[in-house]
Amino acid sequence: MELRDLKAFVTLGEVLHFGQAAARQHITQSALSKQIRRLEAQWGGELFERNASSTRLTGLGRALYGDACALVAQSEQLERTARDVLAGNGGTLRIGFGVATKLLVPAAIARFRAERPKVNIELNDLSTHHQLLALAEGKLDLGFCRLPAPKGWHFLPVVRAHFIAVLPASYAGVSGLKDLVERPLAILRRDKAPSFHDQFVHYLAQSGLRFRDIQYVNDFAAGVATAAAGIAWTLVPSSTTIEHPDVISLPLTEPEASWIIGLTRPPQGDSPLIEAFWQTVAALRDPELAALPSA
């Protein structure tokens, strides 16, 4: 069964006039008749009764007409969906992000969907390490990852983040890391966010200070809660929500205390949809980073 024959059946069943149906299909009446005969031969019975004054569906034609209409409608929807996806106006975009881009990502998605409302967005809250794995395995289309990106990958610097020390309120008077060496420190487990943990360890190593009383937490919220309870201080990204009266926030401004997050994709990961989102993020990124190299 050919789709064009099915469309001819549906059109003729709607107008019940061979001349009008042929005109709608942009074919001759004889060509339309051949299409109907092919279907009748395949389905084993006549679909239309025709005389000099009228054309009407047979019992078989009436029984099959509804399903035929549904199939034609589905095929037309497939064609529309294909056109939308190829134009970057439809389909699904799978995006990874982390705490450092929790403000930028919703803004980018809102602007993108205002222009392309048919696009579905799947968001995945993952560490840079887990985003890169998912991107390499084809499970994500784009990721907001800590730079540098893997060699050969495309990237666009978008946000600069830095560490904030979150201290118990009883630590009033602390001015820097040197005042915290003898205090207990709560840090995020490495398996939860390897890139963040490694940056954290590198930063502490660069400080030249040695911290001995270290404990581990499963997420940044737990670290803040630990500080609020007076148990230990912690380091979190600058985008972390810190709303507790029993903690003190101490931003760290040294170059080693900051890093850049970039929108990232593998070299083979490109499509009109991905490129459209890429340009949306480029328009929203931190102006300070616009001069940095991208690929």
According to DSSP, the β-strands at 48-50 and 247-251 are unpaired
The pLDDT of residue 152: 94
Q: Report residues of the chain scoring pLDDT below 70.
A: none
206 and 281 assigned to the same domain = no
Q: Which residue intervals of 87-177 are DSSP H helices?
A: 104-115, 128-136
The pLDDT of residue 42: 93
Query: Would you say residue 91 lies in a domain?
Result: no
Does residue 144 contact residue 262 with C-beta atoms inside 8 Å? yes
Does residue 134 contact residue 98 with C-beta atoms inside 8 Å? no
The pLDDT of residue 135: 96
Range of the domain at 277: 104-152+263-289
The pLDDT of residue 202: 86
pTM higher than the cut 0.85: no
129 and 46 assigned to the same domain = no
Does residue 184 contact residue 229 with C-beta atoms inside 8 Å? no
The pLDDT of residue 27: 94
253 and 110 assigned to the same domain = no
Query: Would you say residue 216 lies in a domain?
Result: yes
The pLDDT of residue 194: 87
Question: Tokens at residue 181, please?
Answer: 């060496």
The pLDDT of residue 77: 87
The pLDDT of residue 61: 94
163 and 253 assigned to the same domain = yes
Domain total in the chain: 3
Residue 93 three-state SS: strand
CA-based angle 141:145:151, to the nearest 5?
Answer: 80
Does residue 143 contact residue 96 with C-beta atoms inside 8 Å? yes
The pLDDT of residue 140: 96
